[in-house]
Amino acid sequence: MREIVDRIYRDDSRRVLATLIRLFGDFDIAEEALHDAFVAALERWPVEGIPANPRTWLVSAGRFKAIDQLRRRAAFDDRRPEIERQLTELAEQEPVIADSGDITDDRLRLVFTCCHPALSADAQVALTLHTIGGLTTEEIAHAFLVGAPTLAQRIVRAKSKIRDAKIPYEIPAAADLPERLDAVLATLYLIFNEGYSATFGATITRADLCGEAIRLGRLLVELLPEPEAIGLLAMMLLHDSRRAARTNEHGELIVLDAQDRSRWNREQIREGQQLTERALQSRRVGPYAIQAAIAAVHSEANSAADTDWAQIVVLYDLLLNMNPSPVVELNRAAAVAMKDGAAYGLDLINGLLARGELANYHLAHSARADLLRRLNRTEESLAAYAMALELTTQEPERRFIERRMASLKH
């Protein structure tokens, strides 16, 4: 019985929570009600048997427990008559908890509330992982390398703002959807990146953030199959497919060109490619879908030399058109170097650096160093690597640059 309840908790607790939040309009009351509902299940199911629809059972159990709890609290409150009236109303109205679209809607409401732009990015991430992902505050704190009390406070503050400023629990209207969806996608991408950029040499928990972001991405695509949601999921899968090949046994970073592509996760690649296709066919192509397409082109090639660099350059052009950014220009320059030759890429990077925006960006200097190395301009390459080294704070990156410099000095 314990196992069955545990399984139902894993599979359904977030949905039950989403519905309880809608019914009570308060995260804390809903979380307590969820807890009480599962306690009740553990007591009663062994005697009465498992209900036909456990989720509906849990929602009504949670609802009764919460109304009870609120009644008891109201006894000490001088606004008692008003609260009593509201509670009676709440108890009488039959909540929509059947297996209908409403449950799906509740989860989508929860996604949009947790990723509301009136909350700080940090708070969005923490609340999303906690409420929708079901992670504990300790788990999230550990993954983001902050103290548990700090993280817990971030969540408390976000919940209070939702309640006190009355951030609505609703799916945005069509007119606001693109902007609000952007905020949701940005939150998922932030979670993914936090795991991805720290994967090398770091703890397993951090890599789990990638898995968690992908799981949330799947949920979003299931609830709201917008092209950009599909594009983001595709991009995350295609990047994550390289995870095993990105580091060696010492936790050292391996760049794309040098990765053993037989270690790429074929299943993730297949799914990522299909999703990319789906996002591109929508005719409403956005930046995430383009980035997924770039990753998909890489995933099709057996080696760096074998890669369709011309297509990648075209895709970067499209991306720049939508989202002008010097970092994207830098990536484009690296692709041009592969397509037309290192000298062409170098010209572009020199121009970019001259503009100043990327002057302190270590990847710009290491990309420049790499092209100089390929052009056999060893002295200049070493100087550029030294510059990159000075600007890098990440340990695996530093070791990578130092290895490159050592091999140049031979």
Partner 1 sequence: MKYLCLIYDEESKWDKMTQDEAGKMMAEYGAFTGDIQKSGHLVGANRLQPSSTATTVRSRAGKVSTTDGPYAETKEQLAGYYLIEAKDLNDAVQVAARIPSAKLGAIEVRPVHAM
> Shortest gap between Cβ of 91 and partner 1 (angstroms)?
23
Q: Which CB, 72 or 166, lies closer to partner 1?
A: 166
Which of these ranges, 166-174, 191-199, 270-278, 283-291, lies near partner 1 under the rule CB under 8 A? 166-174
Q: Which CB, 161 or 339, lies closer to partner 1?
A: 161
Comparing CA positions, the residue from 192, 178, 175, 202 lying closest to residue 232 is 192
Q: Give the binding-site size for partner 1 (rule: CB under 8 A).
A: 10
Q: How far is Cα 212 from Cα 124, in angstroms, rounded to an integer?
A: 15
> Shortest gap between Cβ of 166 and partner 1 (angstroms)?
5
By CB under 8 A, the residues from 239 to 298 that bind partner 1 are none
> Shortest gap between Cβ of 286 and partner 1 (angstroms)?
23
Does 167 bind partner 1 (CB under 8 A)? Our answer is yes
Figure out which of the listed residues 165, 258, 322, 343 binds partner 1, where binding follows CB under 8 A. Answer: 165
Identity of the residue numbered 294: I
Which of these ranges, 70-78, 165-173, 289-297, 360-368, lies near partner 1 under the rule CB under 8 A? 165-173
- First vs last Cα of the chain: how many Å apart? 66
Which of these ranges, 41-49, 141-149, 169-177, 354-362, lies near partner 1 under the rule CB under 8 A? 169-177
> Shortest gap between Cβ of 311 and partner 1 (angstroms)?
41
> Shortest gap between Cβ of 118 and partner 1 (angstroms)?
6
Does 42 bind partner 1 (CB under 8 A)? Our answer is no
Site string for partner 1, 106-125 (x = CB under 8 A): ----------x-x-------
Which of these ranges, 87-95, 163-171, 237-245, 246-254, lies near partner 1 under the rule CB under 8 A? 163-171
Does 168 bind partner 1 (CB under 8 A)? Our answer is yes
> Shortest gap between Cβ of 262 and partner 1 (angstroms)?
50
Q: Which CB, 51 or 117, lies closer to partner 1?
A: 117
Does 164 bind partner 1 (CB under 8 A)? Our answer is yes
Q: Is the dihedral of CA 231, 237, 243, 246 positive or negative?
A: negative
Figure out which of the listed residues 2, 72, 166, 410 binds partner 1, where binding follows CB under 8 A. Answer: 166
Figure out which of the listed residues 54, 62, 133, 172 binds partner 1, where binding follows CB under 8 A. Answer: 172
- Binding-site ranges for partner 1 (CB under 8 A): 116, 118, 164-168, 170, 172, 176
